[in-house]
Each structure stands twice: as structure tokens, then as C-alpha cells.
Amino acid sequence: MQTFRRLLVANRSEIAIRVFRAATELGITTIGVYAEQDKLSLHRFKADEAYLIGEGMGPIEAYLSIEEVLRVAEEAKADAIHPGYGFLSENPEFAEACAARGIAFIGPAPRTMRTLGNKVAARQLAESVGVPVMPASAPLPRDAAEIGRIAAEIGYPVMLKASWGGGGRGMRPIESAEGLAEQVETARREALAAFGNDEVYFEKLVRRARHVEVQILGDSHGNLVHLFERDCTIQRRHQKVIERAPAPYLDAATREGLCAAALAIGRATDYRNAGTVEFLLDRETGRFYFIEVNPRIQVEHTVTEVVTGLDIVKAQIRIAEGGRIGRPDETGIPAQEAIVLDGHALQCRITTENPENNFIPDYGRISAYRGAFGFGIRLDGGTAYSGAVVTRFYDALLEKVTAWAPTPEEAIARMVRAIREYRIRGVSTNLPFLEALLTHPAFRAGDYTTRFIDTTPELFALPRRRDRATRL
């Protein structure tokens, strides 16, 4: 088992800081990278060392430049790279380029990313190991008449999806044949712009569905475990808003089936490092269907960490060093039978979006900031501090707040308390919207599906919060 000495994080903001913290606790020197537009970003100053990448490039292009990242890694003498999520995290060419330079890539093998990165291929893999999948098409042809025939064969409504990538890009529900060809072409353009590939396909749309995902971890010695599931049903425009662990509505048999299915897919790909296997659960029938695998750390990994007591990012690093799962002294991860759930957790994503103006991102300087603290509260932030400048160049995520408590009801109450404690001035945030979600009777009762936000207009009658600026 090797030991990393210098770790570069090929990412920015909160996930870069999250990885720095894990590496520092392991005694590893941290190396940050930042684009010109990110020169004042907090992650630059949290790293032990930080270097400019992509001089003269665009704000996103800089972080996507494999050569620029590897140039800095070599100059800084990094022996490992953690990609975080987004950017290069699911790029098998990047992992291969790291290996060619003698730098460890903290993530799954390139062949695994290629297999799982294509949703159609991943579905075929799931079917081959007996995991149920949603009825779907092959990649769509160019012929409009044939596209119409395929959609009718599956049966409306259908979900149009990009074969490569995620995050809701290229994804849209289609109710009927009206305007079908135009919607497919629009989705192709979105997919090409986001992933460099315009391949799309149809999947049967389940109206009353819940979105459940299982966290898995594998090592290079053939050991594979799950860390139970997360509920990610509460979404807006296919982007997750609130995540929970464990899913409060699952019975023991369904939980066991989901976790077993996730492990079957992991074993079929000889999965190494951290990954998330995603499923849709049909509320009407109780059946679940495989959707996709995200071969990286997830934004919502914090809820799994607080209900299992396991540090997933540290485990990623130790697994890449050659550590064994089942040997807590090597990876911090025990054998499957010793992994247990303790309590309930929620994560909310606080963003600089204005819910009263169609969630348009807001930009500017944060003139005042006060976060939430207290027992059972965890904060993971990147630009959440007084004086921080929120730019238009990157996503609107400001901070993630995770609440833990022994019961689902207490966890929700603790999160509501935390959301109400926040005071952020200078930019708009989604805090009022989160409060409306958390206090809605249907959410408290667990009575929601993936279209909950879209079909609950009263969520947008946002609460008016008292001005407590004097208490800052």
C-alpha cells in the first residue's frame, strides 16, 4: 500500500475544500488550481498551495483542460489527483492521461467509466445481471418518422435523455407526438453542448416515481460494499434540491433489494472507488428500476456520511493508495456487516437563485453572512462568507447544510431551524423556498414524488421572513 504525499484537486469551491480537509487529516499536502475568474475563490486559499490554470481561457474551459491540470500537477510534484464532481470527474481520457504521467487518479478505472458513462450501455449491463430496468429505446435515429414510431411503441409519456452525462441536460418529458421532432433536436443540441455527444434515447416515464440512489465503494482487492441508500426525489428541473438518508418510506425488503442490485452492477464492472447507483421506485407498484451509475463522489454524499459515520472522501484516497475495504486501519471502511445506519439526515443546497424571479441566479458581493450552527448541523461551503463575490461564471451553489437527528421528524425540524437561522445579504438566495418545502405537510409526511415541486404551486407562496439584521 502506497502513501500519497501531495494531492491535487482538479476542481473548485466547496468540493475542492471538502477534499482538502480529508487529505489534510491524512497528513497529505493539498494542491489547488484556480481559473483567472476564480482568483478570489475561497478554495484557492484553503489549499496548502494553489496555482493558476488556463491563463487566457474561459472560466469553465480552464477546469476542463486536461493538459493544464496535468501541467500544474507535474510542476507541483503531485502524486495523485482527486477530480471532485463535474468537470473532468467522469472523463476516462483524463484518468488515462493521469496514468500515462505516473499520477494516481482517485476514481474508478477508465474502462468502468466508459461502460457506465453511456446510459444505454449501462442499462444493457444492468439487464445482463438481472437488475430491472425501465423500458427504453436504443439511441434514436435521425429519421423523424422512425423516432415517432419508437416513442409510440414505448408509450407516452416518455422521458427523453442524453446517452452521455447527467445533471438534467438534454432531458425532458414528452407527453405526446406533437412537436416531438423539434424537442428531440433541441435535446440533441443541449447534449452536444454539455457532453460533446448528441446521442439521445427514450425511456418510459413513471409519473408517480421516487428517486433512490445507493452509495457503493469498491477496492482493488475485489471487496465491494454499499453504504445504504439516499432519497433524492425532491428535484427542480431535474436538479436535486433536498436529499435524505435513509429513504424514510422504504421497507426492509425493498432496501435489501436495492442495495443488492447496486452491488450486482458494481461487481459486473469490477467497480473501484466511490460510485452511486441510481434507481426509480414506482410508488404505485413498489417496483424499482435501474437508471444509471455516477462514477464519482456525489454532491449529496454528506447525508450518507453522517448516518454511517464513515468518511467517503478519505476512503476514496485510501482505496486509491491500495487500501482494503474491511480493514478500517487501511480505508476507514469496515466489512459490510459492520456498516450500520444511525439516525436520519437531510441535505439542503443553498443557492444564489431568486425563487421569486424564476430562480434566475443572482450575482454580487455578500455584504453579510451568518450560517447555521448547533448540534447535528454540518456545513460544506465554498463562497459562503461576508465579502465573498458571487460571479456569473459558475453554478449558483453557495453552501450545503446537512442536519442529523435520531428520527425523520427531528431531522426535518432541525433543518427548518437551521434554514431560519441563516442571514445572507447582498445576493438573493433560495432560503425562503427551502423553508416552504421543508414545512409543507406532504414533505413532512413523506408523501411526494419526483414531480412534487412542479405540481405544488403553494410552494411558491414564499414565506416573508422578519428582518433580523440587528442580530448579526
For 221, the grid coordinates are 482487492
In 3D space, the residue among 452, 414, 459, 420 whose CA is nearest the CA of residue 436 turns out to be: 459
In 3D space, the residue among 286, 454, 384, 302 whose CA is nearest the CA of residue 43 turns out to be: 384
For 387, the grid coordinates are 465579502
Whether omega before 157 lies within 30 degrees of 0, making that bond cis, reads yes
In 3D space, the residue among 201, 203, 200, 178 whose CA is nearest the CA of residue 189 turns out to be: 200
Q: Give me Rg for the CA atoms of the chain.
A: 22
Report the distance separating Cα 218 and Cα 267, nearest Å.
9
Half-sphere exposure at residue 414, Cβ-oriented, CA atoms within 13 angstroms: 22
Q: Are 126 and 136 in contact (CB under 8 A)?
A: no
**What are φ and ψ of residue 322, in 5° steps?**
110, 5
Per the annotation, the verdict on 240 as an active-site residue is yes
**What are φ and ψ of residue 184, in 5° steps?**
-65, -45
Whole-Å CA distances, 356 to 88, 139, 296, 371, 432: 33, 38, 33, 22, 10
Tell me 219's DSSP state. Answer: -
Instruction: Tell me the one-letter amino acid at 388.
Output: A
Give the DSSP letter string of 147-195: HHHHHHHH-SSEEEEESB--TTTT-EEE-SSTTHHHHHHHHHHHHHHHH
Q: Which of 46, 161, 240, 400 is catalytic?
A: 240
For 220, the grid coordinates are 482493488
Tell me 38's DSSP state. Answer: G
Report the distance separating Cα 16 and Cα 33, nearest Å.
9
| Alpha helices per DSSP H over 226-323 | 252-268, 301-308, 312-320
Residues labelled as active-site residues: 240
